[in-house]
Structures are given as C-alpha cells and as structure tokens.
Structure 1
Amino acid sequence: MNSSSRAIGETLPRKTTLNREQIIGFWAAWSGWTLDGMDSVIFALVLVPALKELLPLSGFAATPSVIGLAGSLMFALFLVGWGFSYIWGPLADRFGRVRVLAATTVFYAVFTGLAAISHNVWELAIFRFLAGVGVGGEWALAGTYVAEAWPEDRRRAGAGYLQTGYYAGFFLASALNYTIGTRYGWRVMFLCGLFPVVVALYTMLKVREPRKWQRTHGDAPAAVPSKRPLRDIFSRPYRQRTIVNSVLVTIAILGLWGGSIYLPTAVIQLAERQGIDAITAIKLASATTAIFSIGTIIGCLVLPFLADRFGRRPTLAAYYATAALFLVAGFGWAFYLQAGLVPFMILAFFIGLGGGNAAMYALWLPEQYPTSIRATAFAFSTSIGRFFAAGVSLCLGVAVNHFGTLGVPVALTASLFIVGIITLRWAMETRGAPLPD
C-alpha cells in the first residue's frame, strides 16, 4: 500500500466493532420483530378463506361485502389491541427491556396460534385482539433495546436494520402462505405463528440488559428511575415532542395500514377479474406482498443514511410523499385497469419503499428521551395511533361496502401524509445528537 492510499484509509472513519453480546441481542430483537411482522400479516393473507368458513358457522352469509366488513372489524379489533400495548413501555422502564420483550413475544405468539382453533368469528376476533396487545409491544422494546445496546456511531444504522425485520416477516408469511397456506389451509398458517415462543426463550436465556438501563437500575444507579414514566413523557420538557411524535406515527399507520392490509385482497380481485383461478390468485397475492416487503426493506436500509445526510424531518417528508404518490397510483389508477394486475404488482414495490418510513421511529424516538422514560415514550407514541387506525379501518370497511370497491377508499388515505408533512414543522430535529443518558 502506497503512502497516498494509506492516508486515505487513515482519514476514513472506522465504525465501532460490535461485541458478541450486542450481536446476539440484535439478532434476538430482529428475529422477534420479524416473527411479529409475520404474525401481523397472516390474517391479511388468510382473510378470505378464513371468513368464508367462519361466517356461515356464525350465522352470516359469506358474501364479498360481508367479508369486507367483517375483515375491517377484525383489523380494527387487532389495532385496538395494539393500542393497548403501550402498557409494555412502563413495564420495560421498570423491569428491563429483555424480560418484557420476551413476555410480549410469548403473548402475541400464543394468541396467534390459538386463532387456529377458532370455531366462529367471535372467537377469532378475541384472539386477534389479544395478539395485537403483544404485537405492539415488540416494536417499542426492540427499538429501545437496539438504541441503548449498540454503540453511538452504529445505532442509527442498527435502527434501519432492525426495522427490516418486520417486513422480512411479511415476506416470510407470504412464503408460508404460498406453500403451506394454499395446501393445508388457513388454520395451519395461524399455527405457524407459535414459533416466536422459541425466540422468546432464547432472548430470556442469552440476552443481557443494555448497560444504559443497568446504570439507572443497579445498586448505585447513575440516574433515578422514573416512578411515573407515563406522566413524565407529558411533563414540560417532553410534552410537545410526545404529542408530535404520536401524531407522526399515527399518520404513518393510518396512511399505510389500508394499503398494506388490503394489498392481498386487491390482487385477488384483480386476478379474478382477469379470469385467473382462486389458487393462483392467492399465490399472486402472496407474491405481491413479498414485492411490497422487498420495497419496504430497501426503504428501511436506506433511511438511516438519508436521515444522517439530510436530517430527520426532510427525510421523513420525502418518504411520506413517496408513499402518498404510489398509494394513489396503485389503488386509484392501476386497480381500475382492465389488465391492471401487473402494473399494480409493480407499484406495490414503490408503496413499500415509502413504507420504509417506519425505520425512522426506531432511530428518532430514542434520541428524544432519557433512558428512564425511553421505552414508555416509544411505546406510547407507536401505540396510541392504533386506536385512530381502528376507526379508519372501520370507516374503510364501511366505504368499501358502500361503494362496492376498495380502490378509491384506500387511495384517499394517501391524503393523510400531507398532514404529516405539515406536522413535521413542529418535530424535534436530532441529527448529530447523541443518545441521551
């Protein structure tokens, strides 16, 4: 190596090497978040066959409009359960990230698996609600864990890597549905949701609490743990950022929930319109969900670098604009083409790319709060919007039932991203700031 190449090499910043504990902890958190994503999207993939079987057993006709309305009610209940998952945040601030993270994983896995034994829509609804309570906690606790466990110069990229797990779960669920679901049916798909219990046990046995949390909860804590973290996130220093963060996450949820959840149903309808048989239509729905997931994973991986280069607020605005544009193009235009299946499948990739905005919250929210209330703030901001999303899900179901189409109602949800871009004016820019103690 000559002197000039050595000089160049010496000026390049070197990233801190991750130790074994940080690597094991990340993969445990990532695996849990991946299986969380798998469990969340299973119902979207099996909605039609599950409701076709259970609605008649519950005294209802399994017509397309009833399936659409019942599906919306199920999604709403799942979101309400997710909304209640903010309870995991204060528990994690008090008892530790790892133990509570494992508990959330067991919680959502067990109730996803129990959905396989549903005898009617009422039982399925209860199981979906309870699964939602566990699913929501995973995001907040996994994001908090990685932010606190990884070194400062790598935690932003770690947030992007972590968020890919949720959409890798979409891809995994799609692959399972393509192979197992089409052959063995929807009940076996729900049974696959029991696998996260293994990850929970591994987490409990192998992963240690982050040192930042230990410093506030050890024998001689460097900071006093908060006794009322939920109250503290609305105290004077944090009130505005908590409200703004909650609004931004809510808008992201509302704007993309309909697009991602109704994606398989839209593909099935497009395929049937073109004379494609039912089994092939289900496979195409799974393939499109996988395409959407690939787009989202790429968006998540790129986001941390854009956020460090241009700032948190401009980057999130660009992602919001991308999601809005392609939601309108996919559901407002391609869905109504006579041969719109292929254009819709292509646009699903770009809808997913905009959906990569989810990685921003795992990166950005931990930067705005101290360790003593970080998990509570993260859990609250990412959960409270689910109650509003439940209302939007119901409204979407009513709109789809009323208009006899899901294209325009879903496309209209893109307008919410404009509200998000305006709200960013009051958000806290943290580019270049270290994680608070």
Structure 2
Amino acid sequence: MSSLTDRTSAARRRTPLNRSQIAGFWGAWAGWTLDGMDSFIYALVLTPALTELLPRSGYAATPANIGLAGSILFALFLVGWGMSFIWGPLADRFGRTKVLAGTIFTFAIFTGLAATSHNVWELGIYRFIAGVGIGGEWALAGTYVAEAWPEDRRKMGAGYLQTGYYAGFFLAAALNYTIGVHFGWRAMFLTGAVPVVVAILILLRVKESEKWQKAEAHAERAKPLREILGPAYRRRTWVACILLTIAIIGLWAGAVYEPSAVIQLASKAGMAKNDAIRMASLATGLLSIGTILGCLALPPLAERFGRRKTLAFYFAGMAVAITGSFGWAFYLPNGLAPFIAWLFVLGFFGGNFALFSLWLPEQFETRVRATAFAFCTSFGRFVGAGVNFLLGAAVLHMHTLGVPVALTALVFVAGLFVIPFAPETKGEVLPQ
C-alpha cells in the first residue's frame, strides 16, 4: 500500500511545464501531425492520381502500372526523406526551432504544389522535395521535446509527440472521406499547404531549449557527423540505423499499401468506387487509433521493462500483425472485415516509432543529438526506398499485393537479433 502511495505522490509531484515548454510541444506536435497527414495523403490518393497522370505520361493506367509507378514514386519520396539528414547539423549549429520551422515550410509548400502536377514526373519531383522537409521534422521535433521538457516528463512527452504523426493519418483519412471523395486528389494535396501557418507560429512563439543554448555557449565548433561515426558513438549509431531501417520498412510497407488493399477487398465485396474509397478512409482511421494507443502505451512499458525488451515486444507484434493481415486475411473469400480488424493490431504495434523518439536522444549528447537523430532516421529511409522499389517489382511479378507485403514481416524477426546490441538507457538522465 505504501509503495502505491509513494508512486501516486511522485506522479503528483511531477515538474510543471512552463508556457514556453507547452507552446513548444504543441508546435512540434502540430508540425508532426500535419507531417503525418502530408505523408499519408499520397497513400490515400495513389490510385486516383496515377489513374489520371499515367496516361498523360504515356503509360496505360493498368493496376500493374499503377502499383509499379506508385512504388517508384514512393521510393523517390523516401530518398527525399533520406536527404533530410542535412537538417541535423543545421539544427546543432543554428538551433532547433528555426530549422524545425524550415522543415515544415519545405514539406508544406511542395505538398501543395503536387496539386498542380501535369504528369507523374512533376508529381515525383514535388514528392521528393516534400520528403526532404518531412524527413527532418521528426528528428528536430523529437530532439526539441527531449531537451525542452523536464527529465521526469520527457519520456511520456516522446509518446505524446509520436501520437501526432498518426493523428495526421486520421486527419488525412477524414479529409479523404470528405474532400477527397467530392473534390478529388488535387484538393487533397492542396490541404497539405496548411502547415505553413504552424511554421510561422513556431518561429514567433517557441523559444530554444536551454540545453541547446548551454551546449552552444560552451561548445567549440565540432563536426557532429564525424563524431557520431567515430569511436565513441559508432556502434550505437549503426545499431540505431539498423533498428530504424527495420521499423521503416515494415511500417511503410503496411501503411502505404493498406488503402489499396482495402479498396481491392471492398471492390471484391461488391462495393462501388466511392464506397470503397470511404471504406479505405475508415480503415485508415482505425489503423491510426490503434497506433496512437500503441504510442501512449509504449513509454510506461519502456520505463518498467526497459527499452530493449519493449522494442522486442513491438517488433514481434509487427511480425505477427503483418502476416495476419496481408498474408492471411487478404486472401480469405470474405476478407474485408478480418483484414480491417488486423489493421488495428498492426497500428498498435506500429507505435514502435515512439520508442525511438524516447530512446535516441538518450544515446547522444546535446552537441550532436540532432545530427545523430537525423542521420539514423535518414539511413533507414534510403534502405526503405530500395525495399519499396523491390516491393513494387514483386507486386508486378506476382500479380498480387498480399504476399510481397507479408514477407516484410521477416525483417522484424531479424530485428529481434539486433536489439541486444543496442545500449539499455532505462533510468539514465538525458546526457548534456
């Protein structure tokens, strides 16, 4: 009883957040939410956009060509994400908030420009540059919240922050259910220009973290990229790169192809085109709710069982959920309902990304933290680009969506053998 009382009293004594910390969090969260919305808009409008643009580019809009072109364009988007490592050294040099606003400006403007595309080549260029901005937002938002929030609250802050990305999925699904169905895919991309307002607010309202200001005041001009690849950090940098690569391959394989899979299953069940699109939006909303719950559940699990055991639990869950949804339910005679039910499970374990928002800042000192975060996330996106290209080729060759996506579950199994090489930081304070 006394132990329970002590824990309750400790929870009540949590360090209060000041106005700047609250404003900074909501700025980062809103940016991450709209980042998620912009990312998932492409998945939702993939089929209608390519159906219109492929014939204008000299290609027939067959299901196979749509699948292949979709994979190529998404690979370009991931390469853009990978190029986002440039934001990390900029943030370590000039501060978190200014560069965070810059990432939001970039992805918002070029997502809006995608609405003007006349062919697949223009769409690919706009998505590539938008990817550069989107990729940097997570690293800088995660770094900022970790540094700005008090030590006794930053772990849950990481979980709260990560919910924003999947709230963005839910927002994209809601927009597709309303705007997308009635006004088409171009209107969906135009909504992606809204985050410019958030970028302006961040520049005007959010102060730099004290940790960065102190580190900047006492730091010599270092080369953070060289440092994270040097003897002191080399092992944890590359292990984090591998684990993030696994997370990106699996989650994006499921998330990108999930709307197309639902549309196929809904059409097979006899639904009209617009009804199938609405069903994909509802399924995406369920996936998002599951992921938000997974993000919120993760920090308490990581605090109780440790970072490595928690990630192993989420990776194992992803392997099972991807296999159950794309490898089993997708091929059932009446597979729509079972597939959508599996999406909730897939969403929950997709919350594994929240662990990296919590864990990566704990592994690196302030002077190199943003660079390390951006580098590790970017590495995975480069590899993810290649995997998604191979995935598109496999879909084209096998004439089916389910099996190629289901095979990505194997990378999560492999990840279980990599996790023990990562440092366990449970109970440690954020290094200065």
Q: Shorter-chain TM-score: what band?
A: over 0.9
* RMSD of aligned Cα (Å): 1.5
CA distance in 2, matches of 1:7, 1:47: 53
CA distance in 2, matches of 1:341, 1:260: 16
Deviation at 1:225, TM superposition (A): 4.6
On the 8 A contact 1:246/1:385 being kept in 2, the answer is yes
Distance 1:244 1:6, change over 3 A: closer
CA distance in 1, matches of 2:179, 2:12: 47
- Per the alignment, residue 252 of structure 2 pairs with 257
Matched residue of 2:143: which SS? Answer: helix
User: Structure 1 residues 274, 435: closer, same or farther in 2, change over 3 A?
Assistant: same
* Amino acid corresponding to residue 120 of structure 2 in structure 1: V
Q: Which residue of 1 is the match for residue 376 of structure 2?
A: 381
d(CA) in 1 for partners of 2:174 and 2:252? 21
| Cα distance, 1:347 vs structure 2 | 0.5
Matched, 1:412 2:407: yes
Distance 2:210 2:235 in 1: 28
Where does residue 38 of structure 2 map in the other structure?
39
- 1:227, distance to aligned residue in structure 2 (A): 2.3
Output the amino acid matched with 2:413.
I
Q: Secondary structure at the match of 2:407?
A: helix
Name the structure 1 match of 2:237.
242
Deviation at 1:216, TM superposition (A): 1.8
Letter paired with 1:82: W
Q: CA deviation at 1:13?
A: 5.8
Distance 2:417 2:387 in 1: 20
Q: Which amino acid aligns with 1:292?
A: L
1:366 and 2:365 are equivalent in the alignment: no
Q: 1:225 to 1:24 in 2, by over 3 A?
A: farther
Q: Provide the aligned length of Structure 1 versus Structure 2.
A: 431
Percentage identity across paired residues of the two chains: 63
Map of 2:123 onto structure 1: 124
Give the drift of 1:143.
0.1
Q: How does 1:255-294 map to 2 (within 5 A)?
A: 255-294=250-289
Residue 224 of structure 1 and its aligned partner are, at CA, apart by 1.2
* Contact 1:258/1:413 (<8 A) preserved: yes
In structure 2, the gaps of 5 or more residues are none
Deviation at 1:9, TM superposition (A): 6.2
User: Where does 1:10-409 land on structure 2 (aligned, <5 Å)?
Assistant: 10=9, 14-217=13-216, 221=217, 223-409=218-404
Shift of 1:418: 1.2
Alpha-carbon distance, 1:390 to partner:
0.6
Query: Secondary structure at 1:262's aligned position in 2?
Result: helix
Q: CA deviation at 1:246?
A: 0.5
Could you tell me which runs of 5 or more consecutive residues in structure 1 were left unpaired when the two chains were aligned. Answer: none
Question: How many angstroms does 1:67 deviate by?
Answer: 0.3
**Whole-angstrom CA distance in 2 between matches of 1:105 and 1:178:** 25
Q: Secondary structure at the match of 1:357?
A: helix
Q: Describe the shift of the 1:154–1:12 C-alpha distance in structure 2 as closer, same or farther (beyond 3 A).
A: closer
How far off is 1:255 after superposition? 1.5
Identify if the C-alpha distance between structure 1 residues 357 and 8 changes in structure 2 by more than 3 Å, giving closer, same or farther.
closer
- Letter in structure 2 aligned against 1:120: N
Deviation, 1:8, is: 8.6
Cα deviation for residue 256 of structure 1 reads 1.6
Cα deviation 1:243-290 (Å, max 9, x = unaligned) = 000000001001221111100000000011111100000000011111
Distance 2:85 2:29 in 1: 20
Asked if the contact 1:180–1:189 (Cα under 8 Å) also holds between the matched residues in 2, the reply is yes
* Residue 306 of structure 1, CA deviation: 0.2
- AA aligned to 2:139 is A
- The AA in structure 2 aligned to 1:19 is N
> Helix, strand or coil for the counterpart of 1:62?
coil
Classify 1:269/1:6 alpha carbon distance in 2 versus 1 (closer, same or farther; 3 Å): closer
Q: CA 1:305/1:424 → structure 2, altered by over 3 Å: closer, same or farther?
A: same
Alpha-carbon distance between aligned partners in 2 of 1:365 and 1:68, rounded to the nearest angstrom: 34
Paired with 2:301 and 2:57, the residues of 1 have a C-alpha distance of: 50
One-letter identity of the residue aligned with 2:117: S
Paired with 2:359 and 2:232, the residues of 1 have a C-alpha distance of: 17
| 2:150 maps to amino acid | P
